[in-house]
Chain A
Amino acid sequence: MKNIVIGRYIPGNSFLYKIDPRTKIIALIILMVAVFMLRSLIFMLAGLGLIMLLLAIGKISVKRVYLGLRPLMFLLIFTFSFQILFNTQGTQLIDVTLHYTVLTIPLIIALFFFWMYTKKIIRFKLLYFFFIVSLILSVLIFIDVGYTLNQGALTIYSQGLEMAFFIMLRLIIIVTLSTILTLTTKPTDLNLGLESVLKPLKIFRVNTEEIAMILAISLRYIPTLLDEANKIMLAQASRGVDFSEGKLKDKVMQIVSLLVPMFIISFKRSDELANAMEARSFVPGRNRTRLQTLHWSSLDTVALSIAFVALFTSIALRIFV
């Protein structure tokens, strides 16, 4: 809980910090569209290269971005494996027999438990995970000793492999882009930017100031609520609720024991906050002056032009290649 980095601003002074938040938000949308236009793995790799270049010029450490990706690791691994195992288009690359014998089954179970109990003390968890997965696969492929209970086949097709990498890269690029936005934009600026980017929605009678206020307050209260969740977890842990381990049923109970107090506290909190806001003369929908203002500079024009060039390039690639 403590290490959540989504939406965290890290002070810095590269050009990414000097771009107007409106530019960053619009560029983010444009670049996402551009990424979704791409159709082949080569282009996606080129895209990843450009993103790495952006990180390098913008002096953003890859480690920060990796921290932003970590909560999505499960999703990444899942989509990756899914494509590899079940996409059967293209030419067959690998076709090996998996031997489930009286020797290999206990062996992989042992490996699994070994991983379960050692993963906590290993530093490179992801690497370790892949190491164990390849160990298990090697056992199933190469050890054909003992009475065979069952046989399976591991077949990998060229399209499956390509799609697996393609989708994974696309996800990584998109999350990296959003992480760049939140890492380099102060919450206040992000909010102002969103408010003015949303402004065109006014013609559909959407109250954009109110949406911006809701977003601002959400941003403001995320750290407070996380603190609260931590406190409750500690309190529940001292009453014997174990948040780290357990079966699915226990997990559900743990989550309930967290959510119920969180819900009650948030309710009280929002009631008090609403009172405090009204006491300070806040009237929903009424005009307000603003302390913070945004300034468009030539840097923004350049940044936005580059984003558009990227978009047109990927549209061209889509049409002509």
Chain B
Amino acid sequence: MNSIEIKNVSYQYQPNKPVLQEINLTIKKGEWVTILGHNGSGKSTLSKLIIGLLKPKTGEINVNGIPLTQETVYDIRQKVGIVFQNPDNQFVGVTVRDDIAFGLENLQIPREEMIERIETYARKVNVLEYLNKEPHALSGGQKQRVAIAGILAMHTDIIIFDEATSMLDPKGRNMVLETMKQLRHEGKTIITITHTMNEALLSDRIVVLKDGRILKEGSSQTILKDKTTLEKSNLEMLLPLKVLYDLEQENYTNKRIKDLLWELSLNV
């Protein structure tokens, strides 16, 4: 079964400045897809289209086989959750508990079940001990995990991470990546949006966006090694691969190897 079908979708914020053009993309249930692209390539716009925050200018979107329309948008939002980039700008509640409850209150979940779900998912993302804390007492990684708990508690089938780790320190980032891996095992459909390679490595499939068009799409293994595609879309290749490619060029010297490894160690 397909989780998401995007057919021939275009979008523009301002006339004659298309942000997305003729996007065709199908994501299967339980698949983990990375959308990769430089800043401004239209990644966030795509995720807002999927959840019906924006309406496509042309084309159509199906979620779980249901066409996205004015009538179905609220039902579809119950199936799709987004974790946004800035942990501060998606924290609605006054406390962690209230914030996880926010989505559940909107879904009109009865109070007893709410309490149960809050506890379950707070434990799952490891924020149980912070339930009574206010957001300014939390680190970025903790806030982001609260956001994830809030989405998980809503029992959505599809979760989109829109650069959810980009504002976190390495520790916070790893915590979030661990949660994503766990979600994959549970059969959730995952879409991660990023412009760095490390995260893309974890997913099944990579879709490369450039200037609002799909430049290339394929398994993570093939895309990560695809030097021309990555260069064309201004993306940094993973350093070990970069070293490998550089060494494959014939006239390498010991000094060149040392320089490359030095560069590698600085970037890890």
Name A's B-contacting residues (CB within 8 A).
Answer: 186-188, 191, 216-217, 219-220, 223-224, 227, 269, 272-273, 275-283, 286-293
B81: A residues at CB distance < 8 A: 279-280
B8-24 to A contact mask, C-beta < 8 Å, 1/0: 00000000000000000
Q: Which residue of A lies closest to B110 (CB)?
A: A289
A281, B78: Cβ atoms under 8 Å?
A: yes
* 8 Å CB contact of A187 from B53, B88, B91, B94: B94
CA distance A224 to B93 in the complex (A): 13
A279, B92: Cβ atoms under 8 Å?
A: no
CA distance A289 to B77 in the complex (A): 18
B93: A residues at CB distance < 8 A: 188, 220
B95-106 to A contact mask, C-beta < 8 Å, 1/0: 101100111111
A269, B89: Cβ atoms under 8 Å?
A: yes
B105, A288: Cβ atoms under 8 Å?
A: yes
B59-101 to A contact mask, C-beta < 8 Å, 1/0: 0000000000000001001101110101011111111011001
CA distance A269 to B86 in the complex (A): 9
B89, A273: Cβ atoms under 8 Å?
A: yes
Given contacts A220-B94, A283-B74, contact A289 B114 (CB under 8 A): yes
A276, B90: Cβ atoms under 8 Å?
A: yes
CA distance A216 to B95 in the complex (A): 11
B48 contacts partner chain A, Cβ-Cβ < 8 Å: yes
B185 contacts partner chain A, Cβ-Cβ < 8 Å: no
B136: A residues at CB distance < 8 A: 223-224, 227
Q: Which residue of B lies closest to A188 (CB)?
A: B94
B105: A residues at CB distance < 8 A: 288-291
In the assembled complex, the CB of B13 is this many whole angstroms from the nearest CB of chain A, namely: 13
B106-130 at interface with A (beta carbon < 8 Å): 106-111, 114-115, 118
* 8 Å CB contact of A272 from B86, B98, B106, B135: B86
B211 contacts partner chain A, Cβ-Cβ < 8 Å: no
CA distance A216 to B94 in the complex (A): 7
Given contacts A273-B90, A276-B90, A280-B103, contact A292 B98 (CB under 8 A): yes
B111, A280: Cβ atoms under 8 Å?
A: no
CA distance A291 to B104 in the complex (A): 9
B97, A291: Cβ atoms under 8 Å?
A: yes
Given contacts A272-B86, A275-B48, A277-B92, contact A287 B53 (CB under 8 A): no
A283: B residues at CB distance < 8 A: 74, 106
B150 contacts partner chain A, Cβ-Cβ < 8 Å: yes
B31 contacts partner chain A, Cβ-Cβ < 8 Å: no
Q: Which residue of B lies closest to A9 (CB)?
A: B134
B135, A282: Cβ atoms under 8 Å?
A: no
A291, B106: Cβ atoms under 8 Å?
A: no
CA distance A49 to B111 in the complex (A): 43
A223: B residues at CB distance < 8 A: 134, 136
B102: A residues at CB distance < 8 A: 277, 280, 282
A224, B135: Cβ atoms under 8 Å?
A: yes
19 examples of A-B residue contacts, CB within 8 angstroms = A188-B93, A220-B91, A220-B94, A224-B135, A224-B136, A272-B84, A275-B84, A276-B82, A276-B89, A276-B90, A277-B92, A280-B92, A280-B103, A281-B78, A281-B154, A282-B106, A287-B108, A289-B104, A293-B111
10 nearest A-B residue pairs (beta carbon) = A276-B90, A272-B89, A291-B101, A280-B103, A281-B106, A187-B94, A288-B105, A223-B136, A279-B82, A289-B108
A291, B154: Cβ atoms under 8 Å?
A: no
In the assembled complex, the CB of B94 is this many whole angstroms from the nearest CB of chain A, namely: 4
Given contacts A281-B78, A288-B105, A291-B114, contact A224 B88 (CB under 8 A): yes
Q: Chain B CB within 10 Å — which of A217, A220, A281, A282 has the most?
A: A281
B33 contacts partner chain A, Cβ-Cβ < 8 Å: no
Q: Which residue of B lies closest to A227 (CB)?
A: B136
B168 contacts partner chain A, Cβ-Cβ < 8 Å: no
CA distance A272 to B167 in the complex (A): 15
Q: Which residue of A lies closest to B89 (CB)?
A: A272
B51 contacts partner chain A, Cβ-Cβ < 8 Å: yes
A290: B residues at CB distance < 8 A: 105, 111
B98, A217: Cβ atoms under 8 Å?
A: no
Q: Which residue of A lies closest to B92 (CB)?
A: A277
In the assembled complex, the CB of A89 is this many whole angstroms from the nearest CB of chain B, namely: 49
B82: A residues at CB distance < 8 A: 276, 279
CA distance A188 to B133 in the complex (A): 12
Q: Which residue of B lies closest to A293 (CB)?
A: B111
A291, B111: Cβ atoms under 8 Å?
A: yes
* 8 Å CB contact of A289 from B91, B95, B109: B109
Q: Which residue of B lies closest to A273 (CB)?
A: B89
B90: A residues at CB distance < 8 A: 272-273, 276
Q: Which residue of A lies closest to B115 (CB)?
A: A291
Q: Which residue of B lies closest to A220 (CB)?
A: B94
A269: B residues at CB distance < 8 A: 88-89
Q: Which residue of A lies closest to B147 (CB)?
A: A276
Given contacts A188-B98, A288-B106, A293-B111, contact A276 B134 (CB under 8 A): no
